Structures are given as structure tokens and as C-alpha cells.
Amino acid sequence: MADDAPRSVSLTRTGPLTFQATNDRGGTVTMSSGGTADFTPVELLLAAMAGCSAVDIDLLTTRLAEPDSFTLSAAGEKLRDEDGNHMGPITITVSVTFPEGEAGAAARERLPDAVAKSRDRLCTVSRTVQLPTPVTYRID
């Protein structure tokens, strides 16, 4: 898939408050309203934000050294106020360690820049949330 190719998913109801999303490559993920172990749509948004930055950071740092550990988390509070339902400020926490030695030191040195590039320019998901992005609904 070209980097600038349109993206789409389809969503099918599989049971009460449970849905399966399918991408153009055939991958699937199940989501629900939170009454099951399945991810909720908000949790998928948080996972997408962390996952998008994880890919960016991985590409930019692991060229120098393979990490000893690599985790990201995303968290925020779901709000209900005069603006309706939405997420409050979201924090993405990056926790990456590299081995001792010259290569590990170079990767550690690159990590802050990799995080900044993901946050400010590369991560399509968090950039879309940060920017005013029109969302249109239509009924077929």
C-alpha cells in the first residue's frame, strides 16, 4: 500500500453492542461497548495513537540498536460536558531502554528526537486528533 493511499475499514455488527472492523487487507479487530474484554472504540483510539508513535520511534531508533525493552502507553479521561462526549488531554508515555555500549548510547541519544518527530509531524493518528479534522457522516 502506498503511503499516501486512501485508508478505510468496514464495521459489521456481530452481536449486541459488539462489532468487527475489517481492513482492506483482511485484518480484523473486535470491539464492544465495554461489557466484554474486547476493546472499546476509545481504547482503540488510544492504542492507535500509541501504536502509530511506536512504529515511528521503532523505525528511527532501532536502526542504531535493538531495544532491551519497548513499551508505550496512552491514557486520558473520557469527558462528558457542554461539548458532548470527548477525551480530555491524552498522555502517551514512551518507555524504551537500549543496551549498554556505543550503539545503545546512540539510540538513547536519538530517542527524544524520535519522540518529538512522531508527536509533531509523523504520527498520522495523533496528528489527526491534534489538528481540526472534519468528520462527515452520511447515510447510504
What digits encode the pLDDT tens for the residues 22-32? 999 999 999 99
In a domain, 19, yes or no: yes
* Inter-helix orientation angle 41-61/102-117, to 10°: 140
The number of domains in the chain is: 2
Residue 102 and residue 54 in one domain? yes
- Residue 105, domain extent: 40-130
- The owner of cell 502517551 is 92
pLDDT score at 107: 98
Residue 45 and residue 110 in one domain? yes
| Alpha-carbon gap, residue 97 to 5, rounded angstroms | 34
Is pLDDT of 5 > 90? no
**What does pTM read for this prediction?**
0.91
Residue 49 and residue 93 in one domain? yes
Is pLDDT of 110 > 90? yes
In a domain, 138, yes or no: no
Residue 88 and residue 57 in one domain? yes
pLDDT score at 123: 97
Is pLDDT of 43 > 80? yes
In a domain, 136, yes or no: no
SS3 at position 90? strand
Residue 17 and residue 48 in one domain? no
Q: What is the mean pLDDT of residues 90-111?
A: 98
Residue 106 and residue 122 in one domain? yes
pLDDT band at 68, cuts 50/70/90?
Answer: very high
pLDDT band at 6, cuts 50/70/90?
Answer: confident
pLDDT score at 2: 58
Cα separations in angstroms, 52 against 7, 102, 121: 14, 28, 12
Residue 83 and residue 44 in one domain? yes
| Alpha-carbon gap, residue 29 to 96, rounded angstroms | 27
Residue 90 and residue 52 in one domain? yes
What digits encode the pLDDT tens for the residues 112-139? 999 999 999 999 999 999 999 999 999 9
Domain with residue 69: its CATH number is: 3.30.300.20
In a domain, 89, yes or no: yes
